């Protein structure tokens, strides 16, 4: 790392984050055990394969165009099976491509807060995924952030680049080994969507009860490009705070954020999505569904209109399934020029009695009726995922529901 | 089959029904008329057991058992079904999935939906964006899947176009074991024997009666059943002539 970055990071090591509870990073083990490279995912221990599957990472690699696995802080696997798609560890990619320096710590500032600073100083674990101009991924690439060591601090720096006209789908599964209780994950992700390119970024969080997570993600979209983000968190986790931001720089660029999250007792989720609409005619949509079974969820959304003729809509729905939980919806609209059209709707409440009774009148018990409505509320259909990916995500949700109960 | 005794029901603290008495025997179809806001849906909702309808006095018996305090689910399990006047939208719940779950035995929902012209609706969320007539057909389809012994139909034909009314009529006849009715008195009598299913239908226009033979009609007025127990068609004629308040005059 350049001295200048290192210096900035060092100065920010105690800088509080703008949002979220303070996490004491000294509680966690840095670095951790080194793991050896795995040529073939089939040779992973059966237990790890199962744990990864719950987060949408399929080690049989059926219907995948590439895989990446970060185990603790070691890149144990990085491969792509399609020409024009590259999957590398970020450290390796930085060595291979001099030009990548311009993309590195370019969208996310290393001194944003102590988490970015710490991740920056810990190293370059994380993936580099790139689609060459015009290349369309046949299947999604999968990336797994896996914590296998108790109490570990995992730091990842990810870079995703879709060159002009490329189409890339990525499913990132973040999970811990089944025996792991506590851990800390900091993920820096810088995403570049070039002219007329498209990235579908689907992240499934399947952490465990005492894991704290601080992703820091920024994306930039050029003319005619599209960035589609899906976030799913259905299992107990101690603390998540993230506010991924997209800059729609180019004319007619598009961003869409869909998130579905469940808060369990003891969980503290502060999750938002922000889109800065700069390019003329750019459009954004943010849809968030949060459900609490007793945890605290802050659901943020922020649309900033800075360009002519931009359009954005923000939708935030919260469902209270427990009297103990908290859902705090914070939708924000900000217009900085005239001629922008930004709107939002937010609704938070308990499940509608009328809907429960409708199903009860069809012969379902109250519990069955409630479960059907909850499943409907958390339906991934709203994400408009490609068919195979939707099936995968559905599977992951079912598995994680199972493991959460 | 259904016996309602001196039923008083309040909604949001306001008394709506003030002493309803009604007896529907197995195989019978009754029709309920009454002006807007008179409490027709309230009566059906109270029979089904919805929370918002508070029974303050009286009781409801179904197949000889008192069900007044029972949950909606229990009543449904006993064999009561309802087609809603204005059902809620179920986000994320596909109609096809609901039908599969409702049907007592594994069945081909496509085959089920086809006659109701809803085969292309199976992937859609229940009632989401359905037109007025589509909502009614979907309600009937769900009841067909459920196949209850006693049906409460809240304005099954309102908002339904002339061709689809026939479809709704067929569905109701199927639910009430009246298939094959061709308008003849003799045929009607023959079918009546051996029929056990019963129903209570709310209608304003009576159009549904062109397709579904009914036994008795009642007018709900001022929280009570007036002109109760007459031929439904005759009753409709009286309402036309003298209005809801005056229909007693015609029958006196
Ligand atoms: N929460 C409430 N508080 C007071 N009155 C209410 C409340 N909810 C409903 N009502 C009233 O109860 C009355 C009966 O309503 P109901 O839906 O049973 O009428 P209806 O006979 O089915 O009418 P329509 O023919 O228009 O369907 C109406 O006047 C309605 O406004
Ligand atoms: Mg009504």
* Contact (CB, 8 A) for B45 and B20: no
Helix (H) or strand (E) holding A137: none
Give me the pLDDT at residue A122, please.
87
Mean pLDDT in residue range A308-320: 95
Of A352, A363, A382, the CB nearest to B88: A352
Q: Is the CB of B41 under 6 A from ligand 1?
A: yes
Atom of ligand 1 nearest to the CA of B38: 21
Smallest CA-to-CA distance from A199 within A294, A110, A130 is with A130
> CA-to-CA distance for A326 and A320, rounded, in angstroms?
8
Instruction: Express each pLDDT in A189-198 by its tens digit.
Output: 999 999 999 9
Please indicate, yes or no, if residue A129 is contained in any of the structural domains.
yes
Average pLDDT for consecutive 10-residue bins of chain B (252 residues)? 97 97 96 96 98 97 96 97 97 95 90 94 96 96 96 96 93 88 55 82 95 95 90 92 82 60
Atom of ligand 1 nearest to the CA of B45: 18
Domain that holds residue A213: 3-242+351-404
Distance B207 CA to ligand 1 centre (A): 23
Smallest CA-to-CA distance from B206 within B167, B155, B246 is with B155
Contact yes or no for A362 and B76 at CB 8 A: yes
Task: State phi, psi for A238 to the nearest 5 degrees.
Answer: -70, -55
Q: Is the CB of B39 under 6 A from ligand 1?
A: yes
> CA-to-CA distance for B69 and A339, rounded, in angstroms?
58
Mean pLDDT in residue range A40-48: 91
Distance A133 CA to ligand 1 centre (A): 63
Mean pLDDT in residue range A263-291: 96
Q: Ligand 1, atom 26: nearest CA belongs to which residue?
A: B36
**In terms of CA atoms, which chain B residue is nearest residue A375?**
B92
Integer-rounded Cα radius of gyration of chain B? 18
* Contact (CB, 8 A) for A374 and B86: no
Contact yes or no for B71 and A372 at CB 8 A: no
| Top mutation candidate among B40, B47, B132 for ligand 1, by most atoms within 8 Å of CB | B40
Q: Which CATH architecture describes the domain B82-214?
A: 3-Layer(aba) Sandwich (3.40)
* Contact (CB, 8 A) for A355 and A319: no
Contact yes or no for A354 and B88 at CB 8 A: yes
Q: What's the mean per-residue pLDDT of chain A?
A: 93
pLDDT at A16 over 60: yes
Residue A348: band (very low, low, confident or very high) from pLDDT cuts 50, 70, 90: very high
Give me the pLDDT at residue A329, please.
96
Give me the pLDDT at residue A404, please.
54
Provide the domain count of chain A.
1
Instruction: Express each pLDDT in A358-377 by its tens digit.
Output: 999 999 999 999 989 988 99
Residue with more model confidence, A241 or A2: A241
pLDDT at A149 over 60: yes
* Contact (CB, 8 A) for A203 and A231: yes
Pairing of strands A167-176, A198-206: parallel
User: What would the two tokens of residue A157 be?
Assistant: 């720096």
Q: Is the CB of B9 under 6 A from ligand 1?
A: no
Atom of ligand 1 nearest to the CA of B44: 18
Contact yes or no for B146 and A363 at CB 8 A: yes
pLDDT at A27 over 90: yes
Q: How many CB atoms lie within 10 A of CB A381?
A: 14
Give me the pLDDT at residue A380, please.
80
Q: Is the CB of B94 under 6 A from ligand 1?
A: no
Q: Is the CB of B42 under 6 A from ligand 1?
A: yes
Q: Is the CB of B38 under 6 A from ligand 1?
A: yes
- Strands of the sheet containing B150-154, edge to edge, are B80-83, B150-154, B198-202, B29-33, B216-221, B224-230
Interface test with A, best of B52, B86, B91 (most A CBs within 10 A): B91
User: What would the two tokens of residue A306 be?
Assistant: 């800075």
Give the Å distances, CA to CA, from A116 to A31, A256, A400: 16, 25, 29
Residue A402: band (very low, low, confident or very high) from pLDDT cuts 50, 70, 90: low
Contact yes or no for A363 and B102 at CB 8 A: yes
Enumerate the domain spans of chain B.
Answer: 82-214
User: What would the two tokens of residue B186 be?
Assistant: 């003799």
The string of DSSP codes covering A259-287 is EEEEE-TT-EEEEEEEEEE-STT-EEEEE
Give me the pLDDT at residue A296, please.
97
Ligand number with the minimum distance to the CA of B34: 1
């Amino acid at each position: 790392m350049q001295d200048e970055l290192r210096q900035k990071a060092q100065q920010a090591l105690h800088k509080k984050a703008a949002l979220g509870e303070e996490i004491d990073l000294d509680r966690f083990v840095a670095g951790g055990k080194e793991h050896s490279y795995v040529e073939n995912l089939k040779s992973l221990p059966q237990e790890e394969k199962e744990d990864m599957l719950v987060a949408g990472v399929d080690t049989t690699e059926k219907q995948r165009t590439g895989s990446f696995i970060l185990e603790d802080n070691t890149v144990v696997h990085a491969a792509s099976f399609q020409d024009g798609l590259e999957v590398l560890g970020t450290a390796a990619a930085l060595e291979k491509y001099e030009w990548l320096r311009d993309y590195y710590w370019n969208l996310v500032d290393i001194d944003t807060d102590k988490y970015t600073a710490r991740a920056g100083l810990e190293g370059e674990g994380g993936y580099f995924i790139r689609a060459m101009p015009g290349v369309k991924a046949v299947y999604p690439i999968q990336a797994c952030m896996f914590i296998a060591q108790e109490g570990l601090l995992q730091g990842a720096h990810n870079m995703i680049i879709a060159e002009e006209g490329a189409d890339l789908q990525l499913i990132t599964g973040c999970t811990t080994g089944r025996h792991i209780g506590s851990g800390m994950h900091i993920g820096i992700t810088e995403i570049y969507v070039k002219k007329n390119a498209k990235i579908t970024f689907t992240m499934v969080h399947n952490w465990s009860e005492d894991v704290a997570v601080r992703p820091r993600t920024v994306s930039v979209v050029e003319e005619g490009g599209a960035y589609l983000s899906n976030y799913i968190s259905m299992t107990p986790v101690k603390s998540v705070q993230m506010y991924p931001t997209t800059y729609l720089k180019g004319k007619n660029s598009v961003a869409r954020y869909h998130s579905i999250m469940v808060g369990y007792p003891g969980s503290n989720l502060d999750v938002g999505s922000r889109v800065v609409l700069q390019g003329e005619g750019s459009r954004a949509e943010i849809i968030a569904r949060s459900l609490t079974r007793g945890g605290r969820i802050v659901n943020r959304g922020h649309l900033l209109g800075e360009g002519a003729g931009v359009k954005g809509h923000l939708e935030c729905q919260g469902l209270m399934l427990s009297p103990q939980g908290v859902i705090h919806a914070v939708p924000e609209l900000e217009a900085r020029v005239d001629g922008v059209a930004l709107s939002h709707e937010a609704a938070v409440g308990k499940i509608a009695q009328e809907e429960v009774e409708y199903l009860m009148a069809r012969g379902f018990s109250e519990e069955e009726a409630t479960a059907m409505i909850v499943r409907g509320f958390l339906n991934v259909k709203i994400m408009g995922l490609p068919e195979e990916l939707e099936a995968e995500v559905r599977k992951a949700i079912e598995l994680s529901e199972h493991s959460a109960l | 089959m259904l016996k309602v005794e001196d039923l008083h029901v309040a909604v949001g603290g306001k008394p709506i029904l003030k002493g309803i008495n009604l007896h529907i025997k197995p195989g019978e179809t009754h029709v309920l008329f009454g002006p807007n806001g008179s409490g027709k849906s309230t009566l059906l909702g109270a029979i089904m057991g919805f929370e918002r309808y508070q029974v303050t006095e009286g009781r409801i018996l179904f197949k000889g058992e008192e069900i007044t305090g029972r949950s909606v689910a229990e009543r449904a399990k006993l064999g009561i079904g309802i087609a809603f006047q204005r059902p809620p939208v179920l986000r994320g719940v596909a109609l096809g999935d609901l039908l599969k779950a409702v049907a007592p035995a594994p069945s081909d929902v496509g085959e089920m939906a086809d006659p109701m012209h809803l085969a292309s609706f199976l992937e859609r969320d229940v009632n989401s964006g359905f037109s007025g007539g589509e909502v009614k057909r979907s309600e009937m389809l769900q009841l067909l899947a459920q196949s209850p012994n006693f049906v409460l139909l809240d304005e099954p034909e309102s908002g339904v176009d002339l061709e689809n009314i026939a479809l709704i009529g067929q569905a109701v006849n199927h639910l009430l074991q009246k298939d094959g009715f061709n308008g003849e008195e003799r045929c009607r009598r023959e079918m009546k024997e051996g029929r056990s299913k019963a129903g209570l239908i709310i209608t304003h226009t009576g159009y549904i009666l062109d397709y579904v033979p009914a036994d008795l009609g009642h007018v709900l007025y001022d929280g009570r059943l007036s002109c109760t127990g007459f031929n439904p068609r005759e009753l409709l004629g009286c309402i036309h002539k003298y209005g809801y308040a005056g229909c007693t005059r015609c029958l006196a």
